[in-house]
Amino acid sequence: MDDMEQLYQEIILDHYKHPRNKSEIPKQDMQADEENPMCGDRIMLAVDVEGDVIRRIRFDGKGCAISQASASIMTEQLQGKTIAEASALIDEFVAMMRGEKSVTQSENEEWLSLSGVRKFPLRVKCATLSWRGMQKVLAAQ
């Protein structure tokens, strides 16, 4: 493992062990409940939107380190964005994970950390689960 891979693993493990914006979500607040049965991942989302700005994202869930770290990263990166900005970022992230877009175009360290899963098609679902859930929430706004 080279130094960059080591760094990327540390970023993912840090988000997995110390998830940002993770809390229990009461049923009435839940806006997305996504499952990835291939891996046993589950992501629930509650999103507060004010005007067209995403004020707060909470997530809850269980599953592999990739799915949970990716959800934590997603909440940090999309909070404070407008719905249009967030939608564009989600599209970009999903395209990157699917290998449709080069990673070097992005200088986002967290995305680069997650991009290692592109070699493993099943893990791509883990990485994109929370982002797809968020896409659905925003589409319903």
Q: Which residues of this chain interact with Zn ion, rule CB under 5 A?
A: 39, 41, 63-64, 67, 126
Amino acid identity of 69? A
Residue 63 or 116 with smaller CB distance to Zn ion: 63
Residue 43 or 57 with smaller CB distance to Zn ion: 43
Q: Is 23 helix (H, G, I), strand (E, B) or coil?
A: coil
> Based on the number of CB atoms within 10 Å of its own CB, is 121 exposed (0-12), middle (13-18) or buried (19 or more)?
exposed
Minimum distance from CB of 104 to Zn ion (Å)?
Answer: 25
- What residues are paired with 24 via a beta bridge? none
Residue 120 or 141 with smaller CB distance to Zn ion: 120
Minimum distance from CB of 17 to Zn ion (Å)?
Answer: 16
Q: Tokens 């909440």 label which residue? A: 75
Residue 14 or 85 with smaller CB distance to Zn ion: 14
Minimum distance from CB of 129 to Zn ion (Å)?
Answer: 7
Residue 13 or 88 with smaller CB distance to Zn ion: 13
Minimum distance from CB of 36 to Zn ion (Å)?
Answer: 6
Q: Tokens 């992005």 label which residue? A: 106
- Residue 108 has a CB neighbour count (10 Å cut-off) of 17
The DSSP code for 36 is E
Minimum distance from CB of 8 to Zn ion (Å)?
Answer: 17
Report the run of H or E that residue 58 belongs to, with start and end. Answer: strand 53-62
